[in-house]
Amino acid sequence: MSIRRAVIFSTLQRYYGFVIAFISTIAVSRLLSPADLGAFSVAMSVAGVATSFREFGASAFLIRSPTLEKHHESCAFGLTLLLGGGLGLVLVAVAKPLALFFRTDEVADLVCILSLNLFLLPFGTVNNALIRRQMQFDLLARINVISVTLGFFVTLGLAWLGFGAYSLAWGAVAFSLFSSGFSILWGPAPAIIRPRFTGGGDMIRFGSQTTGLSVLWDISSRYSDFLLGRMQGLAATGLMSRAAGLANNVNDVLLSGFGAVALSYFSQLQREKGNPLATHLRLAALVTGLGWPAFVGLAFFAEPLTLALYGEKWLGIVLPLQILCLQYCLGLPFSFQYELVMAKGSMDKQVKAIVFIEIFRIVAVTVGAMWGLIGVAVALVVTQLFATLSCSLVVWPTINVGWADYWVVIKTNLSITAVTIACCWGALALAHQWNASYVQLILVVGPVVAVCVLAGYAALRHPLFVEVMKLLKGWRPA
């Protein structure tokens, strides 16, 4: 499958997932309280760290390995099955202490439910990785669309019946069950793989690097949930989680279509002696050109969107959300750098940089939490600046990229971002003079701003506009 078709299928699938998640978030936010969401966020943070460790880099190894032997599939299944089962039992064991730490039994129950994912996911790991390696993103899209839809109905149905935070946990388990099942049913590997626990030394060596990074990444990124939950209560965790979730949803819409195929495609280019660096810079320029205007719009319309989507009880997310938009804008020009480094196999310097960055994030968030949600959001912006500086000194030399290369990415998108700021500022200023309601801001002012920005893309002949035109002219149905 070509990279364009892979991106199209991946993007459509991710957009569908975003729409379902968006609808689910709106419905659940109306049915659940910030404290309910906070309890689930804490439990999901614990389960998420365990899930990162469960894979031990097996999927990434199967995707990027230049030559894939048959025993690698058995080793990957055996490794993830062993770790998944062990970590699932560990989660059950730590559930009660966590409940005592946060002073609510609900956290323990949620952790036990989410531990089921660790027993289910290993069965779909090999097939899922092979689907990505073979660039069969049409099949991957089918699996994820069906699984997301079924998980959505489980979550919404249970929330409607009054299960509270438990509806989110059972929805996550349902998604894992369906995703693993369909991967086994339709994937290229045999439905039954005999697990192997020996002969996977190369996989373990690779996993020891990537897993350590992934676990540290998860701990530091979820650390604010623990800290706020302990210092200011689960309601504060719920508010921060909702603000971060909305910003992250926008980021996922921007990156996930490309991100799902980035490692596979960079690895393919590396194996075929191509130029993955040039592709990385081109993709970064395109997603930045789309992302900067999107986050500017989200920051300007944060308050009316919060009122429309979640209601007045969630207004505490507005300022943290606006600050988080700045954080994501700072990171967009360097998108897919991690996947590029992994594809090139030069992980040593990346490991060192990420360790320092994530330790810095933990320290910054600890200090920022003294000032509540705003302090945590500002700490994340500072961390993003530190991450960029660290990577420029340590990682960039290993992939032969520098500030001059990324300045091209940034310069390309300054004009359309300025157009977006001017449109949002002017339109909202006029709307406030007319005392427009939040419904009018979203249904009338928002679309007007969007049309003006789209006209800006065309007038500036932005590379994203040019790429879309090429895609429309060159598309031929299969």
Q: Are 166 and 29 contacting, i.e. CB atoms less than 8 angstroms apart? A: no
pTM value?
0.75
Cα gap 342→213, rounded to integer Å = 12
Distance (Å, whole) CA 321 – CA 134: 38
Distances in whole angstroms, Cα of residue 4 to Cα of each of 235, 255, 261, 303, 469? 43, 14, 10, 36, 13
**Full pLDDT tens readout for the chain, 478 residues:** 555 566 666 667 777 777 887 788 788 888 888 888 888 888 888 888 787 777 666 777 777 666 666 677 777 777 778 888 888 999 999 999 988 888 888 889 999 999 998 888 888 877 777 887 776 777 877 888 899 899 999 999 999 998 888 999 999 999 999 988 888 888 776 656 676 656 556 666 666 666 666 677 777 777 888 788 778 778 888 899 889 988 988 888 777 666 667 777 787 787 777 788 888 888 888 889 889 999 999 999 999 999 988 888 899 999 999 999 999 999 999 888 888 887 776 667 777 888 888 889 999 999 998 888 999 999 999 999 999 999 898 888 888 888 998 898 898 889 999 999 999 999 888 888 888 888 888 888 888 888 988 898 888 888 888 877 877 776 554 4
Angstrom distance (rounded) from CA 364 to CA 376:
8
Ranges of each domain in the chain: 32-231, 232-478
Q: Give the burial class of 226: count Cβ atoms within 10 A of its Cβ; 0-12 exposed, 13-18 middle, 19 or more buried.
A: buried
Residues 6+ apart with CB under 8 A from 475: none
Distance CA 65, CA 46 (A): 30
Q: CA 23, 259, 353 angle in degrees (round to 5)?
A: 115
Is the Cβ–Cβ distance between 62 and 72 less than 8 Å? yes
AA letter at 432: H
